[in-house]
Amino acid sequence: MKLDASTYAGVAQRAECLVTSEEMEAALDRMAEALTTRLAGKDPLVLCVMTGAAIVTGLLLPRLDFQLRLDYIHATRYRGETRGGDIFWRHRPSEAIRGEHVLILDDILDEGITLDHVARACREDGAASVQTAVLVEKIRPHRCEVDVVGVKVADRYLYGYGLDYKGYFRNVPGVYAVADEDV
């Protein structure tokens, strides 16, 4: 769904910045360090969970100075809404996963349902090992744990650094909480 320019501007004006771009860049540096410790020398297959993880993937991979490969996996359950529904698979690269040390990279752990499904799918598809990393973890109970986290943020509806509000704001250089009236 398209947002008209005045609605877009209103959402942006009412939103609250929770994490600045400087803080996010520092978090990416810390994630890179933790992932290097876990995965350097294992020739991992990094799986970008489309679409939101495209930004964290692009920012993180140049910080990883070791042998790796990149592929993508696409499971979605929000599809432009601010509440999640059933998992919908768009791309599951089962053959590519078999025997690999997989790193699943996503933008956010919210309820944890998406990451739980994706990690299970990788194990079912014969991954040698599965590790997970997210740029943002919401402070709330989750369906699954994650190995490496960038920042922990309040349980509000968020946008920026890959996180979308109705398909928009993924390109915003900071993490913002949408005002209650806009959720």
Ligand X SMILES: O=P(O)(O)OC[C@H]1O[C@H](OP(=O)(O)OP(=O)(O)O)[C@H](O)[C@@H]1O
User: What does the binding site for ligand HPA look like in residue numbers (CB under 6 A)?
Assistant: 78, 108, 110, 157-159, 163-164
Q: Does 158 bind ligand X (CB under 6 A)?
A: no
Q: Does 77 bind ligand X (CB under 6 A)?
A: yes
Chosen from ligand X, ligand HPA, none, partner binding at 49 (C-beta under 5 to 8 Å by type) = ligand X
Binning the chain into helix, strand and coil, the percentages to the nearest 5 are 30, 30, 40
3-state secondary structure of 83: coil
C-alpha dihedral over 103, 104, 105, 110, to 10 degrees?
A: -140
Give the tokens for residue 10: 């209103």
Task: Say which residues have a Cβ less than 8 Å from residue 57's Cβ, sequence separation at least 6.
Answer: 46, 48, 70, 105
3-state secondary structure of 11: helix
Instruction: In angstroms, give the least distance from the CB of 126 to ligand X.
Output: 22
Closer residue to ligand X (CB): 109 or 153: 109
Instruction: In angstroms, give the least distance from the CB of 20 to ligand HPA.
Output: 17
Angle, helices 53-60/21-39, rounded to nearest 10 degrees: 70
By CB under 6 A, the count of residues binding ligand X is: 18
Residues 26-65 that bind ligand X (CB under 6 A): 49, 51-52
Q: Does 108 bind ligand X (CB under 6 A)?
A: yes
Chosen from ligand X, ligand HPA, none, partner binding at 177 (C-beta under 5 to 8 Å by type) = none
End-to-end Cα separation, the chain, in angstroms: 15
Residues 125-154 that bind ligand X (CB under 6 A): none
Chosen from ligand HPA, ligand X, none, partner binding at 51 (C-beta under 5 to 8 Å by type) = ligand X
